[in-house]
Structure 1
Amino acid sequence: MTVKIYGSSCASTRKSRMWFNTHNIPYVYKDIMRNPLSIEEFQHILRLTEEGTKDIISTRSKAYKQLNINLETIPLKKLYSLIQEFPRLLRHPIIFDEKKLQIGFDEHNIRQFIPKEERQKFIIDNLFNLNNNPHIEGI
């Protein structure tokens, strides 16, 4: 399971990459300003979304406002070609693997990319630390 981070030089992308580096989780980074998404990458990301294009399109971006796009009616091929031309239409970063997707940096939700074995170890270690800490009430 390779984690991929697609983004730009924005702060959220930098935070995401730093988080993965700090947690020693390998990832593949792609600067979508220099290397736009392929149609296959775009389709894979769309399959992982809950609400389709609403999840990945930055409706607050200048490009979105200038293009006056209606996400309800625009054909996907047209949207894809606009994303090729205006990559800032996408929210950043897009973090995903084969089954999981996160748009933007969220320190709580990004933990879903920690391998299962390490998450379980982390939970167990913290549980034992709580039980050994007598000043915490209720334990």
Structure 2
Amino acid sequence: MLTLYGISNCDTVRKARKWLEAHQLDYHFHDFRKDGLTTEQISRWTDGVGMEKLLNKRGTTWRSLPEERRDGLDTQGLQSLLLEYPTLIKRPLLEGDTICHVGFKETEYSALINGVSHE
């Protein structure tokens, strides 16, 4: 089963959800804000895509953080920051048995899903 992580009012998350539904793929939607996050989830994602790819430095949440919170982040510091501010995670994040992918582009989703079991 695929899980799509994000926030419900994000336009890119909506596009990803529409794409998954149009391709009749079963998935569960997990809203960062409403459903929360765990250290284990964030660990899987930092292992799967890396810290730099996971962290959204373009958003207002990142820009509003004090410089001392942003500078010199190691993996543990990043995980704590993402638990505290889930909107710092790039969206959407698609996760499955063999998938951990950040962002949405139709061509990338097609390549990811090709050959993956959806049961």
Structure 2 partner of 1:66: 64
Unaligned segments of structure 1, at least 5 residues: 119-139
- Counterpart contact for 1:48–1:99, Cα < 8 Å: no
Q: Provide Cα deviations, 1:73-105, integer angstroms capped at 9, x if missing partner.
A: 323333222222211111110112122222111
The one of the two structures with greater contact order (alpha-carbon pairs below 8 A, sep at least 6) is 2
- Counterpart contact for 2:43–2:79, Cα < 8 Å: no
- Counterpart contact for 2:2–2:94, Cα < 8 Å: yes
Question: 1:117: how far off?
Answer: 7.6
Question: 1:111: how far off?
Answer: 0.9
Tell me which structure has the larger Cα radius of gyration: 1
Say if 1:117 and 1:38 are closer, same or farther in 2 by CA, change over 3 A. Answer: closer
Structure 2 partner of 1:27: 27
Distance in 2 separating the partners of 1:76 and 1:90: 14
- Tell me the TM-score normalised to structure 2 length: 0.83
Matched residue of 1:33: which SS? helix
- Tell me the TM-score normalised to structure 1 length: 0.72
- When the two chains are superposed, the root-mean-square deviation of aligned CA atoms in Å is 1.9
Question: 1:37: how far off?
Answer: 1.8
Structure 1 partner of 2:89: 90
Matches within 5 A, 1:126-137: none
Distance in 2 separating the partners of 1:45 and 1:4: 13
Unaligned segments of structure 2, at least 5 residues: none
- Counterpart contact for 2:56–2:90, Cα < 8 Å: yes
Q: Percent identity at matched positions?
A: 23
Distance in 2 separating the partners of 1:39 and 1:46: 10
Q: Which amino acid aligns with 1:82?
A: L
